Structure 1
Amino acid sequence: MPAHASTGPLSGCYVISLRPVGGHGGVRRAAAALGAHTLALSPWRIDHLDGDDARAALQRSLAAERVVFTSPAAVAAAARLHPLRPAPARPWVAVGAGTARALRRGGAGEVASPARMDSEGLLAMPQLQDIESLDVGLVTAPGGRGVIAATLAARGARVLQANVYARVPLAPSPRAVAALRVLEAPAWLLVSSGEALEHVLTTLPAAALDGLRRATVVAASERLAGLARGHGLRVAAVAASARVPDMLAACAGTAATP
């Protein structure tokens, strides 16, 4: 592996990103600012759904008494299908600040998001309490954050799920596999999606998987930390949120601790 010329709290380290294809730029820039390389290990690519069924499901979701968006990708895909204009009496909520920003840019106005930017933080929001017998629209993709739909249904809501994009699973790229086989520098594995983690653990060849297991995990939530530990991975920290700056701040803080 090439030596890194930069200095910083993660100088000489690698950051392993499990973002979708085309989604590693933010990690790459932030990691470089801290002196680290980025190893991109995409579990899938994002495909927007644009058929009549997706459009009809989205219109039903957007008409609900509460509307939940689970990712910036969900916002981008939904905006291709229907204008994003919430009614004042029908609150829209986003899983995190990045999703809320995407909604505001798309014309949705003010959108609430939790301080703790994950499924647990979203489900603790006041807008999603006392929802028995209400319609709650869930704009998302198949798979992924199943805990949201299940919890909303358990609270008595009628969940109107609109799958507006799909995650198309990918085999690990030859470049990533080759890099993991010879990875010796300290490495940090950023885990913000349990589905992404489980996909790469089941698709990597054995020698590359050994390299991944030598990495230290920084997780976006206690739930994801527990999942990583359950797979035998070493978890060093739980970040303040799934945002890239918070994840890398946790890496840097842990790296500075003897």
Structure 2
Amino acid sequence: MTSMPNHTIPTGWTLISLRPQGQHAGLRRAAARYGGTTLAFSPWRLRRLQGAAVEQRLNQALACPRVVFTSPAAVAAAAAWVDLPAAQRGPWLTVGEGTARALQALGVADVQAPQRMDSEGLLGLPALDNVQGLQIGLVTAPGGRGLIAAQLQRAGAQILRSDVYERVPLRLPRRTLSRLAQSATPWLLAVSSGEALQRFWQQLSPAWQQRLRQQATVLAASERLAAQAQALSLQRVVRSEGPTVAQMTAAAHAALTAPAAN
């Protein structure tokens, strides 16, 4: 991660992480480096799907001229079934650099990722310029990333969806909410998934929703997520360049060193 001066960062602040269960370590280390405490509010845990039908559907998706992987979890789940480098037939595309790195670490050579790490950025890749009649495999999980399939289908593509893992919903930990009530401000809410934000928000009481409106600054990994946060009346939003730990850390630095945060 790029180093940044921390002498202007307020002493004591709290990062609220909505990443899946067990995936908070990177943000936790980054926040601690700059004097922050991380509280994890995982909306779900990830579980790999099982069964011959899952493997069959995956092989069909990987045989398409274009394949889209929507997350590192999709890569890991697919790799449990298939030798991915041997299965590649054409360009494989990802929503972000973390997913691209996961494929490259397994030896997949032809991987393309957008600079703008969200669904809209993916759809702007040259490999998806003309998809009329093109079969595209989508390696993903049930729910989420509906924009990708919908827009590709509107452009004339044939989508072969392969769900290789699922999100198992979790209840908000009330003990962690109690800890948040006692945690140092400012509070920074890291948002890299619209579904995660929605599930988190729906489980909060009206009183807690209002408290976050008053005290939290959202670190939004895309313009779409920033708009979603603002629609919930979370008006203090700092735009992150993307969802990676380094990008979220840079957005946190911007939020903490802005005049309003001092």
**Common fold: TM-score over 0.5:** yes
- For 1:135, the equivalent position in structure 2 comes to 135
**Range moving further from structure 2, 14-23 or 236-245:** 236-245
Number of residue-to-residue matches in the alignment: 253
CA distance in 2, matches of 1:139, 1:88: 13
1:195 partnered with 2:199: no
Please say if residues 225 and 235 of structure 1, whose CA atoms lie closer than 8 Å, have aligned partners that are also in contact: no
Is 1:247 matched up with 2:248? yes
Change (3 A) 1:51 1:174: same
Q: Deviations over 1:81-102 (max 9, x none)?
A: 1110266751101111110110
AA partner of residue 39 (structure 1):
L
Identity of aligned residues (%): 48
Q: For 2:157 and 2:245, how far apart are their aligned partners in 1?
A: 32
Query: Which residue in 2 is equivalent to 1:3?
Result: none
Q: Which moved more, 1:222-231 or 1:109-118?
A: 109-118
* SS of equivalent residue, structure 1 residue 234: coil
CA shift, 1:206, in A, is 4.1
Deviation larger for 137-146 or 242-251: 242-251
Letter of the 2:254 partner, please give it: G
1:161 Cα offset (Å): 0.6
Does the 8 Å contact 2:90/2:110 carry over to 1? no
Aligned to 2:156: 156
Matched, 1:30 2:30: yes
Question: Bigger CA drift: 121-130 or 210-219?
Answer: 210-219
The answer as to 2:17 corresponding to 1:17 is yes
Note if 1:177 corresponds to 2:204: no
CA distance change for structure 1 residues 235 and 56 in 2, over 3 Å: closer, same or farther? farther
Which letter does structure 2 place at the counterpart of 1:125? L
1:54–1:162 CA contact under 8 A, matched in 2: yes
Judged with a 3 Å threshold, the aligned counterparts in structure 2 of structure 1 residues 183 and 205 are, in CA distance, closer, same or farther, namely: farther
Partner of 2:74: 74
**CA shift in 2, pair 1:67/1:86, >3 Å:** farther
Per-residue displacement from partner, 1:18-72 (whole Å, max 9, x unpaired)? 0000000011011111111101110000000121121111111100010000000
2-side partners of 1:61 and 1:251: how far apart? Answer: 38
For residue 44 of structure 1, what is the aligned residue in structure 2? 44
Encode CA deviations 1:99-148: one digit per residue, 9 max, x unaligned.
Answer: 01100112212311111111111111111110110100000001111101
Unaligned runs of 5+ in 1: 1-5
Provide the aligned C-alpha RMSD in A. 1.8
Q: Distance in 2 between matches of 1:89 and 1:163?
A: 20
Is this contact kept in 2: 1:241–1:247, CA < 8 A?
A: yes
Q: Distance in 1 between matches of 2:88 and 2:200?
A: 42
Q: Separation in 2 of the partners of 1:10 and 1:33?
A: 13
TM-score by length of 2: 0.91
1:94 is the counterpart of 2:94: yes
Partner amino acid, structure 2, of 1:237: V
- Give the distance between the partners of 2:153 and 2:11, measured in 1 at CA: 46
| Rounded Cα–Cα distance in structure 1 between residues aligned with 2:86 and 2:143 | 25
Decide whether the 8 Å contact of 2:133 with 2:158 is kept in 1.
yes
Contact 1:72 1:99 in 2 (8 A): yes
Pairing 1:115–2:105 present:
no
Q: Which residue in the other structure is 2:225 paired with?
A: 224
TM-score (norm. length: structure 1):
0.92
CA distance in 2, matches of 1:208, 1:7: 32
